[in-house]
Structure 1
Amino acid sequence: MFGDLALGIIFLIQMGVGILGNFFLLGLYSFTLFIGQRLRPIDCIFAHLTLANSEVLLSKGIPHTIACLGIKNFLDRIGCRITVCIQNVARSVSLSITCLLSGFQVITISPSNSKWAELKPQAQKCVVHSCFLCWCFYLLINFTLLGTMHNSRYLTNNTKMWYLGYCSNLSPSSFNAALFAVVFSIPDIMCVGFMIWASAYLIFLLHRHHQQVKHIHNPHLSLKAFHEKRATHAVLLLVSTYVSFYSLNSGLSFYFFQKDKHQPWLVGILDLLGSWFPAICPFVLIFCDHQIRKSWYDLWHRGYCFLFCYALFNHCSPQNSALKI
């Protein structure tokens, strides 16, 4: 009981912190579009990544927090299927857009004589379409698999029960969980492999660029190189964080699929690990981008000023003065 309560508190803190950062970025990008300014191509990728991360945090954090606080199996069969489907779609989109971000950054900082540099104009035009394609692709895959797994013709008395804490998910007895995990993981493994290669290539480009420009003292070139370097460091940090948590989560997930009986705490640990990247990601983006970081600090200080003025107003109001007298 104490373990469930502690896990629920951790989920609540993780979700609260992650939602704070992700909603700040979504609000900032929405405000930029509202005032008529265009987002940079990389900001479009960040916006879709932030949206996917918010869905991961909400779809995993809210059900698990409620379940850990004592309300078990509060979702019916349809609600359970929809929740699991949203979790899978949001997680896969987050991975694929992080992969897209890696490829875009490789194209952006590639030297002009590289083959990757030839794709720079096309890459900037195709960013939005690529992000929407990621959403459509994983929505199609997950809804197809969801319909296949839960077809009423295959649900018999020998149907397997997957206990998730907040609901119980059913799958046919003939359903091979290990095979499903392998097939479903193929696009994820391809994305992770590409991100690792892209990260190694980015490190190589940064090292070579540093060797070439360390004797050049042009302020304009130095400022441009500085911004590109910070953006590349942000991408590398995001990719390394995602790959680390993905590897750990995948190993535990494979162990989970192999077992006939599942411990509720293991499901919670899996989803907790799967939510760490969405919770950390917005703060990496905030503190690695000067403009976003400035907006964050301004909003933070305004919030403190608002709370201070509100407390001062209540303290000096006539009603409070009358009470003191």
Structure 2
Amino acid sequence: MASMDLKFVILFLFPIVIGSLGNFFHFWHSTCLYFSGCRSRFIDFILRHLSVANLLVILSRGIPETMAALGMEEFLNNVGCKLVFYVQMLGKGVSFSNTCLLSVFQAITISPRSSRWAELKVKALKCIGPCPIICWVLHMLLNIRVPMLVSDKRNNKNITNTIDYQYCTAMSPDKDKNSIFVALTLSHDILCLKLMIWSSGSMAFILYRHKQRTQHIHRHISSRSSPETRASQSILMLVCTFVSLYALTSIMNVWFSFYSKPAWWLVKTSALIHVCFPTISPFILMTREQLVCRLMWKK
């Protein structure tokens, strides 16, 4: 095994192990609060869906890439390749949408009662249930074309204008730009990015105003922030991380367009970037939260 391949094996094992454990623990904690009777926040429902989507991305991308780096190429048949890429894109899209939902719902939740957004709080809480489910259905439909663009290496007769993942091949992103599915996906991404930027800006402004108003109080009492403030700060960090990685991914896609057959190290680097957000997002959310269910320490 080449030394570079061994490095990629180690790099992909990190998100598989650490990222999977982080998302599983975050999902388990949220579920524990729900079934144990502890008071849970409304956004915990979105967080559970986000954890599942992150796990799908990590496992469907990380495991095949690790096996390919170990030298086990062509271990997937045509159906396996289509399924793996479909699950990967489905998880990626749902993770994107739920990150946007988290940001928007939290911005509405912490808005002052005197603001014009206050009346949206009740309506928003009623919508929080079906929204993650709608995201799954939406991305199942948006990614229905993905299996048509993917095949195993044995069945791929035309090796030009494709990306070689060692275990499967896929059409280069710029070759399918006339598809209506690409237009719909881009529209979804742009809308979600705009909503995240707007909601993040709103949260930052609200938190700044709140800090200014309560500055004199903190001189006399504990400066520990409220759960709502900590949740908002963690979601702000989450959105900033996502937008940064999304921009980096977009740059990589543009880079891909300059090659009819991208180099293997470029493909591996792109894969690592794709699993970065699902790996670190649970730890960002856990940094400012107490993630131990109180009932576990009782009786």
Q: Answer whether contact 1:178 1:257 (CA < 8 A) is retained.
A: no
**Runs of 5+ unmatched residues, structure 2:** none
Q: Calculate percent identity across the aligned residue pairs.
A: 38
Alignment of 1:140-179 (within 5 A): 140-143=141-144, 145-146=145-146, 149=149, 160-169=161-170, 176-179=175-178
Alignment correspondent of 2:246? 246
Q: As a proportion of its length, which structure holds more helix?
A: 1
Deviations 1:148-204 (A, max 9, x none): 6579xxx99657543112212368xxx833445962333112212221222112111
Deviations 1:15-53 (A, max 9, x none): 211111111112222333443557421111111111111
Alignment correspondent of 1:49? 50
Indicate how the Cα distance of structure 1 residues 204 and 32 shifts in structure 2: closer, same or farther if over 3 A, else same.
Answer: closer
Structure-1 separation of matches of 2:20 and 2:158:
40
Query: How far did residue 136 of structure 1 move?
Result: 0.6
Structure-2 separation of matches of 1:13 and 1:157:
34
TM-score (normalised: structure 1): 0.79
Query: How far did residue 257 of structure 1 move?
Result: 3.7
Structure-1 separation of matches of 2:252 and 2:214:
45
Alignment correspondent of 2:125? 124
Higher relative contact order (CA 8 A, sep 6+): 2
Structure-1 separation of matches of 2:70 and 2:157:
32
Structure-2 separation of matches of 1:113 and 1:176:
51
Q: Answer whether contact 1:67 1:166 (CA < 8 A) is retained.
A: yes
Structure-2 separation of matches of 1:99 and 1:239:
8
Q: Does 1:94 align with 2:110?
A: no
Alignment of 1:189-200 (within 5 A): 189-200=190-201
Structure-2 separation of matches of 1:7 and 1:164:
13
Q: AA paired with 2:125?
A: Q
Deviations 1:245-277 (A, max 9, x none): 110011102221442112222121111111111
Q: Answer whether contact 1:11 1:65 (CA < 8 A) is retained.
A: yes
Indicate how the Cα distance of structure 1 residues 219 and 105 shifts in structure 2: closer, same or farther if over 3 A, else same.
Answer: farther
Alignment correspondent of 1:303? none
Indicate how the Cα distance of structure 1 residues 240 and 221 shifts in structure 2: closer, same or farther if over 3 A, else same.
Answer: same
Q: Answer whether contact 1:60 1:271 (CA < 8 A) is retained.
A: yes
Q: AA paired with 1:237?
A: M
Cα RMSD between the aligned structures?
A: 3.0
How many residues are matched? 288
Alignment correspondent of 2:281? 281
Q: Does 1:255 align with 2:255?
A: yes
Q: Answer whether contact 2:150 2:168 (CA < 8 A) is retained.
A: no
Q: Does 1:9 align with 2:45?
A: no
